[in-house]
Structure 1
Amino acid sequence: HLHSDLGSRFPLEAAQDLDIGSNTVQAYSISPENEYFSVAYRSRSEDDKYIELVLEKPLDREEQSEMSFSVIAVDGGSPPRTGTTEVKIVILDVNDNPPIFTQERYFGKVLENMPEGSVVLTVLARDQDAGVYGEISYQLSHALGQSDSAFVIDPITGEIKTTKPLDFEAAQSHELRVSATDGGGLSAICKVLVEVVDVNDNAPEVVVSSFSSPLPENTAPGTVVALFTVRDRDSGANGKISCGLEDQLFFSLRPAYKNYYELVTVSALDREETARYILRVTAADAGSPPLTSTQTFTVDISDVNDNAPVFNQTSYTMYVRENNVPTVFVGAVSAADADVGLNGKVSYSLAAVQAAEGPWCSCVSVNSENGHVFVLRPLDYERLRQAEVTVSASDAGSPPLRANVSVRLVVLDENDNAPLVLYPGQDSSPASSELVPVSAEAGYLITKVVAVDADSGQNSWLSYHLLRASEPGLFTVGVHSGEVRLRRPVTERDSVRQKLLVLVRDNGKPPLSATAAVSALLLKDLSDVRLPGHSSPAPEDQAGSLTTYLIIALVCVSLLFLVSTALFVARKVCKRKELKAGHVLYGADNLQSGLADGAAAGSLPRAYCYEISLTTGSGNSEFKFLKPILPSVPPQIEVVRFSRREK
């Protein structure tokens, strides 16, 4: 085993030869010859002789780790004899070779999202030495300023692994230094460049520079609401960003400069339609798959006074009963304003304009806060049946907006007027009596009670009832017409003078009533009674003769009474007095002025006039009843009007 420098000597045992003298060993040689060793024969004394192998050339174990050759000893005899010995040279290693990396620079790529412990690459260094001198261990060192915590190397295998996920955005590459050291302390260094491959692991970012909210609803289109920028830490397509706005009719996005965008209005806003807009801006990169981020803008719309109050009805009709208590509530108007705050605060007032449809009523008041309508004083249906006012609703904006509405106040009638009897007259003047022939049949019309009621509706529906009568079974009164008729024919037992009391009652609740007194005179013979107001007056030349005949008839009757028995005379006398006190027939000139007024107002039926007509030249003195008074009367019949005064 050799381990020496150039010129080193390695002694060998000398060959033994029993001969002596010149026949002993004379020389040594190597066979086959080699360039590394030579043999030298030396003698320290006659008895101490030895040979040496001399190293002529440095050995290189890495080229040839061992060699064999023969050393031949030759004596001096003739023929010479030789002796041979085999020499095996084992070359021992020395650490004369440092480790050598297979590459001066190693390049590796790793995805930034690779998990911890992922193998980036493997370095390899070789050492031609053997044994411990050829055993290599690897160490990792980092370039100046770079962290050493991201990678680790296996000292035996040379595998470089990650200790944590890499971040492309933090460092796009890493430069490492790897040293390989053998067992003898020799080392070598190589560089390792690790490139981090970007993956789309960063969503776009939206950074808002300015934002305006709330916006007045009268903001002009094109107003900038927000200014923002977008960015993505990824690179390449992973960092290429596009922005979009969800479907909007009132807002849009427009690029400003570089990565800046503006959010602007594109049309007029209306707070009453939409008071708040939720705008979502989406930024997306071009990675695969793409990553997105959303920025939300909440835009509130502030109110301006652009809406006038609106009444919930186009007009109002309210009702109040007459004779109401003062300050009575009759209804309410209501208006809504779509604005808010002071712009939507509504107050009410009476407009100072007169409605064209009816008289303006100063008795109406409206509450400014809630629109309640009140009637301030009692009303009389007979004087005011309806009134109309205009109510104005105004908001508190600047300038204020207003709206008007018509309020019709209808006065409801109450039964506060009793019926008024127009005929027969109920005043202090002497009452007239109706003439009824004793020959009249049942159903004969004696007279008609005429009455009116100042109320309206059912309060003015009148009904007629017989309250009292001298002969209750003789007369009947029409409930709805007021006509007084005979219920049965007149008999001899019936009194000549009949009195009736007719009750006129309205249909109110409670009902009011009035009474009408009617007098009737039952006559057997009406031939000597001149009746006024006849519709067929006699000629002037016949009027005197008719009067003369009547006087003669009266005188004859008087003489006849004188010569008759006392009872007969007394009876005749009584009958004569009754004949002289003829009834006043009702004519158009006897009606009260109230009747004419009522008829003019449309609340009275047609006026009735009753006549008794005597025609000249008629033997049976024909009577006419229920004949209306005509405007023009033919001058053929004389009409005589009688009246009597109650004593």
Structure 2
Amino acid sequence: MKEMTSLHWNYISLNRLMRLLLLEMAWDLVLCQLHYIIPEESKHGTFVGRIAQDLGLEIGEINPRMLRIISRDEKEYFQVNLQNGILFVNNIIDREEICPKIAVCVIHVEIIVDKPVQIYHVDVEIEDVNDNYPLFSANEFNMVIAESMVSGSMFPLEGAFDADVGTNSIKTYELSSNGYFALDVQTDKRQSESLELVLKKSLDREKIPLYNLTLTAFDGGKPRLSGTAQLLITVQDVNDNAPTFDRPVYEISVLENSQKGTLVIQLNATDLDQGENGEVMYEFSNLVPSPVRSTFAIDQDKGEIRVKGEVDFEKTNHYEIRVDAIDRGHYPMTGHCKVSVNILDVNDNPPELTVTSISVPVPEDSSVGTTVAIIRIQDKDSGVNAKVSCYISEQAPFKLKPTIREYYSLTVHGPLDREKISEYKVEITAKDEGSPALSVTENIHVAISDVNDNAPSFLQFSDTIFIMENNPPGSHVYTVSAADPDIKQNSFITYSLIEGAVNGIPISSYISINPENGKTFALLSFDREQIPFFQCQIKAMDAGLPPLGSNLTIHVFIVDINDNPPTLSPLFSNTDSTVTEMVPRSAKAGYLITKVRAIDADSGFNAWLSYNFKDPIEKLPFGIGHSTGDITIARSFAESDSDEYKLFIQVKDHGEPAMSVMVTITILLVDTVQDNKVEPYHKGVKYEDFPNANVYLIMSICLISSMFLVTLIVYSVVKWHQYTLELKELKQCNIDSSIAGSWTYSLQRQYKLYLNGIPSKNDLIVFTQPTDKEENPNQTGFVTDSQGKPKQPHPDWRYSASLRAAMQSAVHVEGSAVLRQGPGGLEQQWPTVSSATPEPDGGEVSPPVGAGVNCNSWTFKYGPGNPKQPVPQIPPDFPENFIIPGSPAIISIRQDQPSAQDPPKSNNFITFGKKEETKKKKKKKKGSKNQEKGNNAADNSDQ
């Protein structure tokens, strides 16, 4: 019956244990986002789970977003393959080392992904593997049992220890077969097992004084492992009553951090024996481990258990102390009890603040909400003492934002400006809710990185510099300087010239600038007389992205120096600088002889001239105006005065140093001036008012006018000569002047021909008939080829105005030509080969092979500068056929419509042909005469 009751209670205890395990596992699954299970002792590289796929991350996001893994105990048990997102075992895990005496061993892992920051919590449960044998503390246990012990007496045994848990822990004990002893295993509400040796029947020391039994412990693993120990039981016949405690188990609570000597509990055990057999002393059982012995102590006489060492809830929150009560008999007997000590938590641990991730420096243009750092807050206490609040102590443009569990993110909460504050000292305080509350403060230095948000600036928008002319090329003339409040490359300034021009010359040909230090140099020697002033712009550009810049306008004035000597007027600028003047002896004082004129290209004092006699002689009868250069007679001439004087006049400026020029004037005194030069007075005007330069100008004008008149006369003679030649040619071709005149008159009345916008001349041009080998005109007057089809007209029949006169003299009445209506007007067929004319814009002219004076088949082709000249259009009222009076030629005008088979080549045609006669004899006579005339014309061309 007792065994059935024991089994029933064991079943109930096991059921409760399973429920607790399932509840704890479910709670862990609620608190985590992913839960994996792997066996312990897994090798490196063992697959744990597809972490990226389970978290919903793309494989391509793992590297850019910097996925990393953080374990709470800072041991890298796991790693993530960044190529495929698989979580694998990094180090072999010994479950008994990291989770001793814990039924469910879970390793908490945080997966942190940046950009944006996300935290995932992953729990990896370590399954126990049956890799530990049950072990006893000793190989042999010696026991002394009095023979007076009655059946059912129980003797506690030290059980075996198995580091495994669950089914892999110790499940059963077996005792070698005997008839006196059995085993009894008891489990309390804390699932703590008590192993006792039960006496089945009374002992008889005289029969069996010693028992050697084997105790075997088995675990529940597969395969099942076991451990053994020897029980050496000695039977004694003394003191048959053992001390007994009030309760078998005592429950007590103790505050952590209790001072040494603090009373935990006072035990009391009684012994029914008398004398020494009834005196009890208290001791810790041999089953009490050394950590408990170092924490608590027991008084042997009083049974008081007091604090001996440090009591820390965070290390151990529960102690089990086994106490033996031993009497003082010759054969002492022992009573047993168990003291369960619960440690109560005290708020003795301040929060722990750890910066797990920080992204510094922070760009000054970061937007609100940008994550700066990830902060982890922990408190080793429990309950209310472990609840922590976190905040920023001082005002700063940052904000703390809670994320998951004990993590906070430090984000940007306001605008940042590195030029105002380049670094922030963020003081973060974490405070728990214990009593009294504990807090911790951590300073995070957040550096602000520069962004190119400031352009280089000059002290002023423009500046003025002065450069002395004739400066040496390459001389330093100015230094520009700009400031940029940014740093590093954003403040690295380069200087450059903005493109511009001075008098059509690029500004970079005048000055250059050093791009690094802003020193400006003159590339050439300036001449104020050519460039007195110019301005340029200098750009200062930083090296940021994108670069920023500003401009400075520099006004450059060239300062004049005295580098140009005075220059005499053209009258005094001959090679010997000598001028001769004739003065009548009768001239009075104040008579103006001449004026010395000079100019200076300089300016200011450097251009202020003075005129003086060099080494003046006081007896000279002449004077000079120092500022005007007028040479006058100072006194009347005397008989003793010389007839010739040489005056050396120095023209000098006021520069430093002064520059001068010399001129020599020879003055001849004559009785009268009429024989040597023009009368000085003419109609009230003096000779001095007409210098020699004006005389030369008048002579040049007269010469040019004479050349112009001669040119006009020659041109008129040439034109008249050409006109007479034309009349002669007309006579040779047997054309009456009256006929030519009437034809010209008729053309003038019907329409006007314009070439190049100039009215054409009313001259008749008749072209010769082509040979049979080249072209065959049909009866209608069209020019045809050998097959009888109309021949395509030559596109380049154009001619220049310079050859019109030559064409007008070449007329042949027996020839024929066709004017074809084209897009720009009438076009004429010219059956010749082309040759270039010497004029580039005059076009091309092509004479026929063997052409003479009377065979005028020319082709004129306009060049690029001469557009195609239009042929005069036929007026609507022009008669279709008309006859030149007194001439056998018939002019017919036809407007043919193009057929559907042939392309429209022309619309209007003018055909020059012979007048038909009714009699064949006349035609033969006419043909023979024309043949003779053609032969004569050919002979003339050969000549």
Query: TM class, shorter-chain normalised?
Result: 0.5 to 0.7
Q: Are 1:219 and 2:375 counterparts?
A: no
2:310 is paired with a residue whose SS is coil
Q: Which residue of 1 aligns with 2:385?
A: 238
Q: Are 1:351 and 2:498 counterparts?
A: yes
Task: Determine which of 256, 260, 270 is the counterpart of 1:112.
Answer: 256
Task: Determine which of 469, 485, 490 is the counterpart of 2:616.
Answer: 469
Task: Determine which of 287, 292, 306 is the counterpart of 1:161.
Answer: 306
Q: Are 1:328 and 2:475 counterparts?
A: yes
Alpha-carbon RMSD across the aligned residues, in angstroms, is 5.4
Residues 162-181 of structure 1 mapped to structure 2, 5 A cutoff: 162-181=307-326
Q: Go from structure 1 to structure 2 and tell me whether the alpha carbon gap of 1:192 and 1:474 turns closer, same or farther (over 3 Å shift).
A: farther
Task: Determine which of 328, 331, 338 is the counterpart of 1:183.
Answer: 328
Runs of 5+ unmatched residues, structure 2: 1-237, 669-678, 695-943
Residues 422-441 of structure 1 mapped to structure 2, 5 A cutoff: 428-430=578-580
The 1-side partners of 2:339 and 2:525 are apart by 110
Q: Which residue of 1 aligns with 2:409?
A: 262
Where is the helix percentage greater, Structure 1 or Structure 2?
Answer: 2
Q: Go from structure 1 to structure 2 and tell me whether the alpha carbon gap of 1:374 and 1:439 turns closer, same or farther (over 3 Å shift).
A: closer
Q: Go from structure 1 to structure 2 and tell me whether the alpha carbon gap of 1:506 and 1:180 turns closer, same or farther (over 3 Å shift).
A: farther
The 1-side partners of 2:395 and 2:585 are apart by 98
The 1-side partners of 2:484 and 2:584 are apart by 73
The 2-side partners of 1:129 and 1:474 are apart by 175
Shift of 1:232: 0.4
Q: Which residue of 2 aligns with 1:198?
A: 345
The 1-side partners of 2:550 and 2:269 are apart by 98
1:149 is paired with a residue whose SS is helix
The answer (yes or no) to whether the contact 1:359–1:388 under 8 Å persists in 2 is no
Residues 33-182 of structure 1 mapped to structure 2, 5 A cutoff: 99=243, 110-116=254-260, 118-125=262-269, 131-141=275-285, 147-182=292-327
The answer (yes or no) to whether the contact 1:361–1:387 under 8 Å persists in 2 is no
The 2-side partners of 1:283 and 1:478 are apart by 103
The 1-side partners of 2:398 and 2:584 are apart by 97
Shift of 1:409: 2.7
The answer (yes or no) to whether the contact 2:272–2:278 under 8 Å persists in 1 is yes
Q: Which residue of 1 aligns with 2:898?
A: none
- 1:364-419 deviation line (CA, Å, top 9, x unaligned): 23344444333322221111012112233444555544433323333222220224
The 2-side partners of 1:225 and 1:413 are apart by 64
1:411 is paired with a residue whose SS is strand
Q: Go from structure 1 to structure 2 and tell me whether the alpha carbon gap of 1:455 and 1:105 turns closer, same or farther (over 3 Å shift).
A: same
Q: Go from structure 1 to structure 2 and tell me whether the alpha carbon gap of 1:268 and 1:469 turns closer, same or farther (over 3 Å shift).
A: same
Shift of 1:339: 5.1
TM-score norm. by structure 2 comes to: 0.38
The answer (yes or no) to whether the contact 2:351–2:378 under 8 Å persists in 1 is yes
The 2-side partners of 1:237 and 1:436 are apart by 138
Q: Go from structure 1 to structure 2 and tell me whether the alpha carbon gap of 1:122 and 1:429 turns closer, same or farther (over 3 Å shift).
A: same
Residues 503-514 of structure 1 mapped to structure 2, 5 A cutoff: 505-514=652-661
Shift of 1:271: 4.7
Q: Go from structure 1 to structure 2 and tell me whether the alpha carbon gap of 1:454 and 1:470 turns closer, same or farther (over 3 Å shift).
A: same
- 1:73-108 deviation line (CA, Å, top 9, x unaligned): xxxxxxxxxxxxxxxxxxxxx978765657776565
Q: Are 1:407 and 2:407 counterparts?
A: no
Q: Go from structure 1 to structure 2 and tell me whether the alpha carbon gap of 1:135 and 1:590 turns closer, same or farther (over 3 Å shift).
A: farther
The answer (yes or no) to whether the contact 1:423–1:451 under 8 Å persists in 2 is no
Structure 2: which amino acid aligns with 1:372? K
Task: Determine which of 388, 391, 395 is the counterpart of 2:538.
Answer: 391
- 1:230-280 deviation line (CA, Å, top 9, x unaligned): 220113443221111243543211222443322212234445555554444
Q: Are 1:379 and 2:536 counterparts?
A: no
Q: Go from structure 1 to structure 2 and tell me whether the alpha carbon gap of 1:280 and 1:474 turns closer, same or farther (over 3 Å shift).
A: farther
Q: Are 1:286 and 2:433 counterparts?
A: yes
Structure 1: which amino acid aligns with 2:327? D
1:261 is paired with a residue whose SS is strand
Q: Go from structure 1 to structure 2 and tell me whether the alpha carbon gap of 1:515 and 1:120 turns closer, same or farther (over 3 Å shift).
A: farther
Residues 505-524 of structure 1 mapped to structure 2, 5 A cutoff: 505-514=652-661
The 2-side partners of 1:308 and 1:326 are apart by 33
Structure 2: which amino acid aligns with 1:320? I
The 2-side partners of 1:457 and 1:114 are apart by 106
The answer (yes or no) to whether the contact 1:422–1:591 under 8 Å persists in 2 is no
Q: Go from structure 1 to structure 2 and tell me whether the alpha carbon gap of 1:517 and 1:141 turns closer, same or farther (over 3 Å shift).
A: farther
2:615 is paired with a residue whose SS is strand
The 2-side partners of 1:423 and 1:447 are apart by 14
Shift of 1:428: 4.5
The 2-side partners of 1:136 and 1:466 are apart by 153
The answer (yes or no) to whether the contact 2:472–2:525 under 8 Å persists in 1 is yes
Runs of 5+ unmatched residues, structure 1: 1-93, 441-445, 522-531, 544-583, 594-647
2:564 is paired with a residue whose SS is coil
The answer (yes or no) to whether the contact 1:422–1:592 under 8 Å persists in 2 is no
The 2-side partners of 1:314 and 1:158 are apart by 98
The 1-side partners of 2:502 and 2:368 are apart by 44
Shift of 1:154: 2.4
Q: Which residue of 2 aligns with 1:642?
A: none
The 2-side partners of 1:416 and 1:230 are apart by 85
Q: How many residues align?
A: 440
TM-score norm. by structure 1 comes to: 0.53
- 1:597-624 deviation line (CA, Å, top 9, x unaligned): xxxxxxxxxxxxxxxxxxxxxxxxxxxx
Q: Go from structure 1 to structure 2 and tell me whether the alpha carbon gap of 1:359 and 1:460 turns closer, same or farther (over 3 Å shift).
A: farther
1:469 is paired with a residue whose SS is coil
Q: Which residue of 2 aligns with 1:228?
A: 375
Residues 591-602 of structure 1 mapped to structure 2, 5 A cutoff: none
The answer (yes or no) to whether the contact 1:216–1:301 under 8 Å persists in 2 is yes
Q: Which residue of 2 aligns with 1:623?
A: none
- Structure 1 stretch 429-438 or stretch 454-463: which is displaced more? 429-438
Shift of 1:454: 2.9
The answer (yes or no) to whether the contact 1:355–1:390 under 8 Å persists in 2 is no
Q: Go from structure 1 to structure 2 and tell me whether the alpha carbon gap of 1:242 and 1:355 turns closer, same or farther (over 3 Å shift).
A: farther
Shift of 1:147: 4.0
- 1:437-464 deviation line (CA, Å, top 9, x unaligned): 9999xxxxx9999875432355446677
Structure 1: which amino acid aligns with 2:440? S
Shift of 1:166: 1.5
Shift of 1:139: 0.7
The 1-side partners of 2:250 and 2:586 are apart by 152
**Identity rate, percent:** 38
Task: Determine which of 352, 355, 364 is the counterpart of 2:511.
Answer: 364
Structure 2: which amino acid aligns with 1:364? I
Largest Rg, 1 or 2: 1
Q: Are 1:454 and 2:601 counterparts?
A: yes
Q: Go from structure 1 to structure 2 and tell me whether the alpha carbon gap of 1:322 and 1:286 turns closer, same or farther (over 3 Å shift).
A: same
2:294 is paired with a residue whose SS is coil
Structure 1: which amino acid aligns with 2:322? R
Q: Go from structure 1 to structure 2 and tell me whether the alpha carbon gap of 1:289 and 1:327 turns closer, same or farther (over 3 Å shift).
A: same
1:192 is paired with a residue whose SS is strand
Q: Go from structure 1 to structure 2 and tell me whether the alpha carbon gap of 1:287 and 1:438 turns closer, same or farther (over 3 Å shift).
A: farther
The 2-side partners of 1:212 and 1:520 are apart by 100
Q: Go from structure 1 to structure 2 and tell me whether the alpha carbon gap of 1:412 and 1:202 turns closer, same or farther (over 3 Å shift).
A: same
Structure 2: which amino acid aligns with 1:260? Y
Structure 2: which amino acid aligns with 1:263? L
- 1:154-202 deviation line (CA, Å, top 9, x unaligned): 2234332333211111222323233322212344444434343433332
